[in-house]
Amino acid sequence: MSTGNRLITKLLESGSSDSLRLIPEQYFVEEERSLFDFVRSHYARHGRLPSINTCRENNYRIHSADEDFDYYFERCRQRSLLNIIQEGQPEYMEAVQDTDPERALQVMQRMISDAAAIRSPHDFSDLQIEADKVYRQYLEDKYSEGNGGITLGWPTLDRITLGAQGGDVIVVVGRPGTGKSYTILNMAQAAWNTGHSSLFVSMEMTLPQITKRWISINTGLNPDYIRKGQLSTWGEDVFRCSIQNIDNKPPVNFLAGNFSKTVEDIQEAVRHMDPNVIYVDAAYLLGTRMQFSNNKARWEKTTEIIQGLKSVALATNKPVVITVQFNRDVKGKFKKELDLTSIAGADAIPQIASIVIGMQRAKNPHSATRRTMSIMKSRDGEDDKSITTNYLFNPVLNFDEVEDEDSEEEDVEEATAWMV
């Protein structure tokens, strides 16, 4: 039976003109298009979809359909993508056999362009539909206790940024050794504790290294004691209980970059695992499958990476949180001297990012035990704001927000000494 005709059957049963707008003409093969054209022309003339009986009276065959609209919609989309590949393959192979790389690339680009036109059917809408969605979201945010997005781990940061939201690229930027990896892991842990699944990608750490740090943040145990096997009996009990409780939480998947993963690898992982949020530590070390030429500058490579990650965020409507580095000349500067041009790699990072958070050591005497996070760019909220957090590992791991910057770090140590 015809997949396209089944899709039209479910469309007519729903009576939804909004669904009609979502379906590209390319979803239908030749023998299905006459029915689709009839449905569209009927809607244009009468302002409503035809009934199934009306279609039959006009000599169109209507197939029974057991699955829902989304099922047949996806089947038609996949079929359209395969047709594009199959139609372009002979010309592509001919160009390859003729050793004509320019023509081969042109065919490839045409196929990608044709595929892009049908891969994102939700890119098109009208003002009334989108305004209704915005109002419904407003009501949800108004009557919910949350901030509308996925938590970033610190209350003031959530208030300023409104949390991580679909389509966002959120950038945490800092010099080496300031704790970017722990910070983004803490963000992922906070999301996990509020019911969100995640994919965590590290370009520099192995899977055991990621896991040890994750458990340290989850338990508060000093990661150095875990690494050296020097936990107390109490610490071992906490360690064991935290592992036993993992099954009761949302799924978290780790991906070790090994300096070789690409944006496309992340895209495939997201498609397979469907996390609520994606984290990429040291994103500037990613590659792409369209390998960079040797004569490309670093900023060009970084631009391709950040554009690729933004595409992932938009295509999946999920937030992507990444870490990158400041330029070397940032060392020694205070937050008021920072600006978006201080980010290493490319102007594309501050242009594409929804939120940019600059991370630095706090001023003396707390430079070793506290971090300052400054909002350098915010989606549509406040910027030029900052928070101070603990960066303590002994006696227990503590990254809590510091409300009173004049309080001494010894207060935290005294309050947690009973745990050791």
Poorest-pLDDT segment among 21-30, 141-150, 381-390, 408-417: 408-417
Average pLDDT over residues 50-60: 94
What confidence score (pLDDT) does residue 320 get?
96
| Alpha-carbon gap, residue 379 to 81, rounded angstroms | 34
Report DSSP letters for 282-322, one per residue: TGGG-B-SSPPPTT--HHHHHHHHHHHHHHHHHHHT--EEE
Ranges 100-104, 123-127, 132-136: which has the least confidence: 123-127
User: What is the spatial order of strands in the sheet that 355-361 belongs to?
Assistant: 252-256, 198-202, 277-281, 320-325, 169-174, 355-361, 370-377, 386-390
Task: Point out the least confidently predicted range of 134-138, 231-235, 259-263.
Answer: 134-138
Coil, helix or strand for 380? coil
**DSSP labels, 42-107:** HHHHHSSPPPHHHHHHTT-------S-HHHHHHHHHHHHHHHHHHHHHHHHHHHHHTT-HHHHHHH
pLDDT > 70: percent of the chain: 82
**pLDDT at residue 55 in the model:** 95
Q: What is the pLDDT of residue 260?
A: 80
Chain segment 173-214, per-residue pLDDT in tens: 999 989 999 999 999 999 999 989 999 999 999 999 999 999
List, for residues 60-98, the tens digit of each pLDDT value: 989 899 998 889 998 998 999 999 999 999 999 999 999
Q: How confident is the model at residue 420 (pLDDT cuts 50, 70, 90)?
A: very low
pTM > 0.75: no
- Quote the mean pLDDT of the chain: 83
Write the DSSP symbol of residue 177: T
